[in-house]
């Protein structure tokens, strides 16, 4: 199992579920409500699980992938994007299913989520693939899927995070139990990247 593959796969599923909504009969509001309810829970859980299990490890060992200036910048940006997605999901949840207001919020959620997934795949997943051990990638995937399965039926209460404070707190935190376990199994030291070489970068003029 590999957390970068799990996240990538869930992104593909999110794209597919937005596409299903777009092609669904506009008159079937009961169906639209059911489809959206499932997708809204999925989006919230996916972001929260990333914030609990993936980003704390990336902050420790990342070096900024592709067009990211640094690991701090790429993670701050991701947390900011998650807040924007939560805002749009919340607006859709509060609107009458099928109304103009509802569709606007659903489309906004799709736009924010699509932009975010592209960046997350290019910067965060790419960075992690180059820096994390396979053992850590496996252990995070298990914790991530476990958390999502536990809350899949009822969802969670969405909670915005302050991006700067989130990164600072994770930078200062001691190595997580997951990192320590993976390091023990690898015979290495937690908090150290598996590969000393920094992640590969885009041309400087493409960097944000």
Name the residue nearer to Fe ion (CB basis): 50 or 74: 50
Q: How far is the CB of 119 from Fe ion (least distance, A)?
A: 9
Name the residue nearer to Fe ion (CB basis): 50 or 77: 50
Residue 132 to residue 12: CA distance in whole angstroms: 23
Q: How far is the CB of 81 from Fe ion (least distance, A)?
A: 7
Evaluate whether 64 touches 71 at the Cβ level (below 8 Å). Answer: yes
Q: Of the ranges 46-54, 62-70, 127-135, 199-207, which one interacts with Fe ion (CB under 5 A)?
A: 46-54
Name the residue nearer to Fe ion (CB basis): 60 or 86: 86
Q: What are the two backbone dihedrals, phi and then psi, of residue 79, each rounded to the nearest 5 degrees? A: -65, -40
Q: Of the ranges 45-53, 131-139, 156-164, 182-190, which one interacts with Fe ion (CB under 5 A)?
A: 45-53
Task: Quote the distance between the C-alpha of residue 1 and its chain's center.
Answer: 17
Q: What is the DSSP string of 136-202?
A: HHHHHHHHHHHHHHHHTTT--------HHHHHHHHHHSPPPHHHHHHHHHHTS-TTS-SS-SPPPB-
Name the residue nearer to Fe ion (CB basis): 50 or 76: 50
The contact pattern for Fe ion, residues 2-41, with x = CB under 5 A and - = no contact, is: ----------------------------------------
* Number of residues engaging Fe ion in binding (CB under 5 A): 2
Q: Integer distance in angstroms from the first to the last C-alpha of the chain? A: 32
Task: Quote the distance between the C-alpha of residue 196 and its chain's center.
Answer: 25
Q: Of the ranges 15-23, 48-56, 58-66, 159-167, which one interacts with Fe ion (CB under 5 A)?
A: 48-56
Residue 198 to residue 208: CA distance in whole angstroms: 18
The contact pattern for Fe ion, residues 118-147, with x = CB under 5 A and - = no contact, is: --x---------------------------
Q: How far is the CB of 105 from Fe ion (least distance, A)?
A: 19
Q: What is the dihedral of CA 152, 154, 157, 163, to 10 degrees?
A: 10
Contacting Fe ion within 147-206 (CB under 5 A): none
Q: What residue ranges bind Fe ion (CB under 5 A)?
A: 50, 120
């Amino acid at each position: 199992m590999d957390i970068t593959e799990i996240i990538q796969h869930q992104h593909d599923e999110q794209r597919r579920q937005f596409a299903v909504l777009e092609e669904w009969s506009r008159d079937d509001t009961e169906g639209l409500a059911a489809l959206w309810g499932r997708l809204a829970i999925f989006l919230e859980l996916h972001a929260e699980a990333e914030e609990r299990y993936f980003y704390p490890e990336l902050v420790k060992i990342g070096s900024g992938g592709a067009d990211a200036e640094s690991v701090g910048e790429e993670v701050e940006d991701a947390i900011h994007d998650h807040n924007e997605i939560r805002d749009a999901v919340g607006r859709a949840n509060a609107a009458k299913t099928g109304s103009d207001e509802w569709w606007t919020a659903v489309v906004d959620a799709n736009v924010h989520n699509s932009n975010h997934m592209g960046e997350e795949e290019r910067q965060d997943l790419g960075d992690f693939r180059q820096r994390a051990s396979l053992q850590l990638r496996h252990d995070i995937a298990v914790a991530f899927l476990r958390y999502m399965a536990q809350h899949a039926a009822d969802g969670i209460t969405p909670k915005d995070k302050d991006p700067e404070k989130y990164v600072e707190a994770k930078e200062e935190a001691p190595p997580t139990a997951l990192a320590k376990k993976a390091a023990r199994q690898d015979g290495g030291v937690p908090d150290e990247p598996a590969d000393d070489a920094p992640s590969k970068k885009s041309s400087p003029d493409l960097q944000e």
